Structure 1
Amino acid sequence: MREFTLPPALEASEPPARRDDVRLLAGTPDGVTHHRFTALPELLRPGDLLVVNTSATLPAAVRLDRLALHFSGPLPPGSDGAEDAWLVEPRLREAGATVPYPGGRCGEWFPLPGGATLTLLERQTARLWRARLDTDVVPYLRRHGVPIRYGYVGHDWPLSAYQTVFGTPESDLEGGSAEMPSAGRPFTYELVTRLVARGVHLAPITLHTGVASPEKDEPPYPERYDVPAATARLVDHVRWEGGRVIAVGTTVVRALETAVSDDGFVRPSRGWTSHVVTPEVGVRAVDGLLTGLHEPRSSHLRMLTAIAGDELLERVYEEALAREYKWHEFGDVTLLLR
Structure 2
Amino acid sequence: MKVTDFEYYLPDELIAQEPAPVRDESRLMVLRKNGGEPEHRLFKDIVEYIKPQDVLVINDTRVIPARLWGKKEGTGTTIEVLLLTRRDEHTWETLVRPGRRVPPGTNIIFDAELTGTVEAVVGEGCRLIKFQYQGVFEQLLDKLGVMPLPPYIRKQPADPKRYQTVYAREPGSAAAPTAGLHFTPELLQRIRDQGTSIVPVLLHVGLGTFRPVKVDEVARHRMHAEYYSVSVETARVINEARARGGRVIAVGTTTTRCLETAAREKGAVKPGAGWTEIFIYPGYHFQAVDGLVTNFHLPRSTLLMMVSALVGRERLLDAYARAVQLRYRFFSFGDAMLII
TM-score with structure 1 setting the length: 0.86
SS at match of 1:328: coil
Structure 2: stretches of 5+ with no match in the other structure: 72-77, 214-220
Kept after mapping to 1: 8 A contact 2:6/2:305: no
Give, in angstroms, the shift of residue 84 of structure 1: 4.5
Q: 2:15 matched to 1:11?
A: yes
CA distance in 1, matches of 2:204, 2:211: 21
Is 1:62 paired with 2:62?
no
CA positional deviation for 1:248:
0.2
- Counterpart for residue 96 of structure 1: none
Q: Which amino acid aligns with 1:71?
A: L
Amino acid at match of 2:126: L
2:86 corresponding residue in structure 1: 74
Q: What are the Cα deviations for residues 166-198 of structure 1, in whole angstroms up to 9, with x where unaligned?
A: 1114xxxxx421111111111001111211222
Structure 1 position 114, deviation (Å): 4.0
1:227 aligns with 2:233: no
Tell me which moved more, 54-63 or 217-226: 217-226
2:337 is matched with which residue?
334
- The separation in 1 between residues aligned to 2:324 and 2:116, in whole angstroms, is 42
Alignment partner, residue 218 of structure 2: none
Q: Is the 8 A contact 1:116 1:134 kept in 2?
A: yes
Deviation at 1:72, TM superposition (A): 1.2
Question: More deviation in 14-23 or 82-91?
Answer: 82-91
Q: 1:160 corresponds to which residue?
A: 161
**Structure 2: which amino acid aligns with 1:118?**
G
Deviation larger for 151-160 or 276-285? 151-160
8 Å Cα contact 1:3/1:297 also seen in 2: yes
Q: What is the DSSP-based 3-state SS (H/G/I as helix, E as strand, rest coil) of the residue aligned with 1:110?
A: strand
Residue 282 of structure 1 pairs with residue 290 of structure 2: no
Tell me by how many angstroms 1:276 deviates. Answer: 1.9
Equivalent residue letter for 1:47: Q
What are the residue-to-residue correspondences of 1:117-132 with 2, within 5 Å? 117-132=115-130
Counterpart CA distance in 2 for 1:25 and 1:329 is 16
Counterparts of 2:89 and 2:48, CA distance in 1? 48
Contact 1:146 1:159 (C-alpha < 8 Å) held by counterparts: no
Deviation at 1:103, TM superposition (A): 4.1
Q: Does the 8 A contact of 1:179 with 1:211 survive in 2?
A: no
The question of whether the paired residues in 2 share the 8 Å contact of 1:181 and 1:209 is answered with: yes
Aligned-pair CA distance for 1:54: 0.8
Q: 1:308 to 1:164 in 2, by over 3 A?
A: same
Unaligned runs of 5+ in 1: 76-81, 93-100, 170-174
Once the two structures are aligned, what percentage of the paired residues are identical?
Answer: 33
Q: What do residues 278-319 of structure 1 show as CA deviations (whole Å, max 9, x unaligned)?
A: 333321001011111111110112211221122321222121
Alignment of 1:1-338 (within 5 A): 1-28=5-32, 29-31=34-36, 32-64=38-70, 66-75=78-87, 84-91=90-97, 103-135=101-133, 137-157=137-157, 158-169=159-170, 175-211=171-207, 216-217=212-213, 219-337=222-340
CA distance in 2, matches of 1:250, 1:90: 25
Aligned partners of 1:214 and 1:295 also within 8 Å: no
2:227·2:276 contact (CA, 8 Å) conserved in 1?
A: yes
- Distance in 2 between the 1:106 and 1:288 partners? 45
Q: Which has the higher helix share?
A: 2
| Matches of 1:213 and 1:246, distance apart in 2 | 19
| C-alpha distance 277-144 of structure 1, shift in aligned 2 (>3 A) | same
Structure 1 counterpart SS, 2:338? strand
Tell me the amino acid that sits aligned with residue 327 of structure 1.
F
Secondary structure in 2 matching 1:185: helix
Post-superposition offset of 1:202: 0.7
